[in-house]
Amino acid sequence: MEKPSPFKIGMVWYYREDYNAILRIMTDSHKLPESFDIWLAEAEQDEDNLTQDGYTVVRTRIDPETFLGWCRSQGLNADFEARMGFANFIVKQSAGSNIFNVSST
């Protein structure tokens, strides 16, 4: 029996050089880990778990300037929901269908 095609999961991904700016621009920054290293360890664990469950994880970089511009164009606050929406938007643009969205806060 053939396995169904794996679902692609858009996962919010930060770069070390952007993390301090991320913390400054997010309206819910109090929900994010206070350091990039803590965030990265949690995100990599989440990514490993999803991969083990058979999902294809698509890292979606959140660049502070690009993200803020997108939020403004969509009339959104820079928060969890917007991060999820942005990741979903980027993955859909590049992948097509079979997409779920997961965030590492």
Give the total number of structural domains in the chain: 1
pLDDT of the residue at 103: 52
Domain assignment of residue 1, yes or no = no
pLDDT of the residue at 6: 65
Domain assignment of residue 36, yes or no = yes
Domain assignment of residue 78, yes or no = yes
* pLDDT tens sequence across 35-73: 999 999 999 999 999 999 998 888 999 999 999 999 999
Domain assignment of residue 79, yes or no = yes
Sequence-separated (6 or more) residues with CB below 8 Å from residue 32: 22, 23, 26, 39, 105
Residue 100 confidence (pLDDT) above 80: no
Residue 3 confidence (pLDDT) above 60: no
The gap from C-alpha 81 to its chain's centroid, in whole angstroms, comes to 10
Domain assignment of residue 89, yes or no = yes
- Structural domain containing residue 28: 8-102
Domain assignment of residue 3, yes or no = no
Distances (CA, A) of 10 to 2, 24, 71: 24, 23, 17
pLDDT of the residue at 2: 47
pLDDT of the residue at 92: 83
